[in-house]
Amino acid sequence: MDNKQQAVRENYARISYEIAQAADKSGRKPEDIAFMAVTKTVDPVYVNEAIDCGISLLGENRVQEWQSKRDAYRAGIPVDFIGALQSNKVKYLIGSIRLIHSVDRMSLAQEIDRQAAKHGIIQDILLEVNIGGEDTKSGIAPAELPALLTQVGELPNVNVKGLMTIPPPCSDTRFLEAMEELFLRTKEADPARMQILSMGMSDDYAQAIEHGSNLVRVGSALFGARDYSKQ
């Protein structure tokens, strides 16, 4: 075992403890929170180390990178796609990805529906919300969510399972609070489809859990700083 593998083990233990603490604060159990390992730029040997520690869900950001690494991962571990997704790349995901987090427009949902129909499956997705209204991020405005939810609901081969967001980095929790309120309000109107709130990354996963997230996407806190030279 090299030093980085040992660091992954130590990081996994620390993050798991902090997830458990945050779950307790929010009145839930640790097993209520999905701990996703985000694998962007990470060598499969370290991803597999995390799986050996107990990680049971992976998150991929880029279609090409995932295709190049997927066969090196431990067999049987579900993978979600969490990055921005172009419609022409959807065909490479359907049938092998558990959940697509980043659906933010009807045209993308329609392409997912079309490709899923070819495979004879129903593809689970999340709708991405730009809770901070940032021009540099994808996602729909909160006010646009009800209309998109209604439109996507008419697609026979797509199943909305909840919402995803990447809040702006800030020193307080106002965007986490706003997303929690939006999720709860949407769930009250549509409880069957609001099962997952994917919110929280390496810098804010504990706070996100305390504000209702039940799926956190952790990369650098688990694997260390990303090495973009490997892309």
> What are the 10-residue block averages of pLDDT along the chain, 231 residues in total?
93 98 97 97 97 98 95 96 97 96 98 98 98 93 96 97 94 93 96 96 96 98 81 54
17-27: b (≥16 Cβ within 10 Å) or e: eebbebbeebe
Nearest-10 Cα torsion for 21, 164, 158, 97: -70
Per-residue tokens: 187 = 């769930």
Instruction: Supply the CATH number for residue 217's domain.
Output: 3.20.20.10
Query: What DSSP string runs through 147-210?
Result: HHHHHHTT-TTEEEEEEEE-PPP-SS-HHHHHHHHHHHHHHHH-TTT--EEE---TTTHHHHHH
For residue 227, the model assigns a pLDDT of 73
Its domain, for residue 171, covers 3-230
The answer to whether the pTM exceeds 0.85 is yes
In eight-state DSSP terms, residue 100 is E
Number of domains the chain contains: 1
